[in-house]
Amino acid sequence: MALLEIKNLSVDFKTRNGVVHAVRDVSYQIDTGQMLGIVGESGSGKSVGMLALMGLLAKNGSVVSGQMLFDGRDISPLAEEFHGDMKAYEKAMEEIRGVKIGMIFQDPMTYLNPVLKIGTQITEGIIKHDKCSKQEAKTRAIELMKQVGIPSPEDRFDQYPFEFSGGMRQRIVIAIALACRPRLIIADEPTTALDVTVQAQIIDLLKELAKEKNMAVIMITHDLGVVSMMCERVNIMYAGKIVETGSLDEIFYETKHPYTKGLLDSVGTHAGTGRQSLLSIPGTPPDLLKLHSGCAFMPRCREAMNICRDYQPAEVCFGADHCASCWHFCKDRADEIVKAQEG
């Protein structure tokens, strides 16, 4: 059984200008010990999906459909278990969020409380969920700090976040995420705010820790470089949908979707060095408020066809689990797909 299985998840946001469908019918799964990369640009819904999973959506956002099975239990706010009772849902999430699923965010400074000693912040979760004494928690916290590579953890236990550098802060956030021995870590752009040399350190650390503790990691990033350094599977998202999913090598070397191709061209994966070597995707990401009925990538697609404008493509799989949603691969089923969307 998969550790986490997302089925047909859709998330909407109500804004002053209308309803934004931030995540549209997304399904995927991740197994124990697996490293999944979710790649997309800003507004692709890659973070929103995770926030929905953790029950951390902003007030104007809501899960409108779908199941989120963690270890076989549906932890979506729509799950039958809760009967629409948000208090019961919140209570259940408190036992999962930060305990069974750890989180690492882009900016460690917004996650850490600036007026609390970092020791307090690490032990907080341990004491609450393991019900152990303060002394035991401290021993564990120092052990964790050692694991994430903080030098002389005994001395630094009583320091405040501002006394740490950016990379060290991110290590502390990782230590907090690991505190309750989670089975899944969700890392939302954990290295974007860091310098390149520090970024490499943090990625190595995450990789080692995940292997050692047999944790699954979902890495949300816009950086294909980070993905190729640590992930086994990749989901490519565009305008709230997964447009292509596959193993790392399938995504990079057997690329199917024009958007994925465009992304790889943009970072120069298949290009040499030197000037004029980049191919880019023209235009600008779509406004989710005003999507037309067809494929959201159509306006920027080099291979767009007439049908792309009016009808959504269906997902087609090429191997065990390398799938892409593009009209170029489902031409033969066109009649059936068009009919389904008109009805």
Partner 1 sequence: MLAKADYFKPIDPSLQNAEFIAVAPRGFWRDVWDRFKVNKRALIGLIVLAVIVLAAVIGPVLSPYPYDGMGTEINAKMSLKHWFGTDALGRDLFTRSLYGVRISLLVGFLTTFINMVVGVIYGGIAGYVGGKTDMIMMRIVDVIYAIPSLLYVILLMLIFGSNVGSIMLGMCISGWIGTSRMMRTQVIALKEREFVLAAYTEGASARRILLRHMLTNALSPLLVQATMAIPQAIFQEAFLSFIGMGISAPQASLGTLAQDARMYMTVYPHQMFCPVSIICIIIFALNFISEGLSEALDPTRRH
Partner 2 sequence: MREQEPVIKVRHLKKYFMANRHILKPSDYVKAVDDVSLEIYPGETVGLVGESGCGKSTLARSIIRIYEPTAGEVIYKGADITHLSNAKLRQYRNKMQMIFQDPYASLNPRYTVGEIIGEPMEIYRMYDKAGREAKVQELLELVGLKPDHISRYPHEFSGGQRQRIGIARTLALDPDFIICDEPISALDVSIQAQIINLLEKLQDERKLTYLFIAHDLTMVKHISHKIGVMYLGHLVEFGDADEVYSNPLHPYTRALLSAAPIADPKKARESKRIKLEGEVPSPIHAPEGCPFCTRCAECRPECRITPPIMANQDGHKVACFKYV
Q: Which one, of 95, 108, 97, 92, lies nearest residue 175 by Cα? A: 108
Query: How far is CA 328 from its chain centroid?
Result: 27
Closest to partner 1 by CB, 248 vs 334, is 334
Residue 72 and residue 10 in contact, taking contact as beta carbons nearer than 8 Å: no
16, 276, 290, 293: residue in contact with partner 2 (rule CB under 8 A): 276
Site map 189..228 versus partner 1, x via CB under 8 A: ----------------------------------------
Could you say whether residue 339 binds partner 1 (CB under 8 A)?
no
Q: Name every residue whose Cβ is closer than 8 Å to that of residue 155 and which is 6 or more positions away in sequence.
A: none
Residue 275: Cβ within 10 Å count: 5
Closest to partner 2 by CB, 181 vs 222, is 222
Ranges of H-type helices in 104-184: 108-111, 118-130, 134-147, 153-156, 166-178
Could you say whether residue 306 binds partner 1 (CB under 8 A)?
yes
**Long-range contacts (CB closer than 8 Å, 24 or more residues apart) made by 54-58:** 54/93, 54/97, 54/101, 54/103, 54/186, 55/89, 55/90, 55/93, 55/97, 56/97, 57/11, 58/13
Tell me if residue 197 falls in helix, strand or coil: helix
Nearest-angstrom CA–CA distance, 124 and 273: 49
Residue 63 and residue 77 in contact, taking contact as beta carbons nearer than 8 Å: yes
Closest to partner 2 by CB, 85 vs 163, is 163
31, 266, 315, 318: residue in contact with partner 2 (rule CB under 8 A): 266
Nearest-angstrom CA–CA distance, 12 and 63: 7
| Nearest-5° Cα angle at 239, 327 to 304 | 30
Closest to partner 2 by CB, 15 vs 165, is 165
226, 242, 308, 316: residue in contact with partner 2 (rule CB under 8 A): 226
Could you say whether residue 299 binds partner 1 (CB under 8 A)?
yes
Site map 11..30 versus partner 1, x via CB under 8 A: ----xxx-------------
Closest to partner 1 by CB, 58 vs 196, is 58
Please give the radius of gyration of the chain, using alpha carbons only, rounded to the nearest integer: 21
Could you say whether residue 340 binds partner 1 (CB under 8 A)?
no
210, 264, 296, 326: residue in contact with partner 2 (rule CB under 8 A): 264
How many angstroms separate the first and last alpha carbons of the chain? 35
Residue 143 and residue 178 in contact, taking contact as beta carbons nearer than 8 Å: no
Least distance in angstroms from the C-beta of 273 to partner 2: 5
Closest to partner 2 by CB, 102 vs 167, is 167
Q: Among 93-101, 136-144, 229-237, 285-293, which window interacts with partner 1 (CB under 8 A)?
A: 285-293
Site for partner 2, residues 136 to 175, rule: CB under 8 A = 165-168
Least distance in angstroms from the C-beta of 331 to partner 1: 6
68, 122, 145, 224: residue in contact with partner 2 (rule CB under 8 A): 224
The residue behind tokens 């170029």 is: 328
Count of residues for the chain? Answer: 343
Q: Among 91-99, 154-162, 261-269, 301-309, which window interacts with partner 2 (CB under 8 A)?
A: 261-269
Closest to partner 1 by CB, 8 vs 280, is 280
Q: Which one, of 182, 205, 188, lies nearest residue 32 by Cα? A: 182
Nearest-angstrom CA–CA distance, 293 and 308: 9
Could you say whether residue 341 binds partner 1 (CB under 8 A)?
no
Residue 33 and residue 183 in contact, taking contact as beta carbons nearer than 8 Å: no
Could you say whether residue 290 binds partner 1 (CB under 8 A)?
yes
Closest to partner 2 by CB, 135 vs 152, is 152
Q: Return residues touching partner 2 (CB under 8 A).
A: 41-42, 165-168, 195-201, 203-204, 222-229, 248-249, 252-253, 262-269, 271, 273-282, 284-285
Q: Return residues touching partner 1 (CB under 8 A).
A: 15-17, 282-284, 286-287, 289-290, 298-301, 303-310, 327, 331, 334-335
